[in-house]
Amino acid sequence: MPDDDLQRAQSLIRSIADYPEPGVLFRDITPLLADATALRATIDAMLAPFAGTFDVVAGIEARGFLLAGAAAIAAGVGLIPIRKAGKLPRPAASVDYALEYGTATIEAHDDIRPGMRVLLIDDVLATGGTLQAAHTLVAELGGTVVGTTVLMELEALGGRALIGDVHALFCV
């Protein structure tokens, strides 16, 4: 994929100050999602290091779903949603993780079978708690995480130190 397509894709990500609360700089990816060329370049670049190594992609709620759905179709594999607690009708496993102020829980169905090779996809790597919990969740279901790919990494928050190797398309 041409570098100019990726540069254009990155330029479509908008920064929204003080959303959802004062002091937070929210990264709005919807303009990138609305542009077919930028979205394709992004998905191709997120998948490239892992070609042929995974059986399924697992997308983390909520914006990770959008990227994982496109990635699953592009790679010709299935999609496993990793959801916030209480959103699945038959959760098979759940993992609690720490937030800045409290805890949260993610869940998945047992569609991840023992030995299944899973590529984790999310939109942002920040502090790493959600992705670390997703790694644990996949392992509890018997799957193997073969890679983790994110659209962007917020480097100053140090999430990579918590979860290890991550393929981040854009670092901010």
Catalytic residue among 27, 61, 90, 100: 100
Residue 63 among the catalytic residues: yes
**Residue 41: CB atoms within 10 Å:** 23
For residue 55, what is the DSSP state?
Answer: S
Catalytic residue among 63, 83, 117, 160: 63
**Please, which contacts does 22-31 make with residues 24 or more away whose CB atoms are closer than 8 Å?**
27/123, 27/124, 27/152, 27/172, 29/63, 29/66, 29/123, 29/151
Cis before 20 (ω within 30): yes
Is-contact 32 12, C-beta < 8 A?
A: yes
Q: Which residues are catalytic?
A: 63, 100
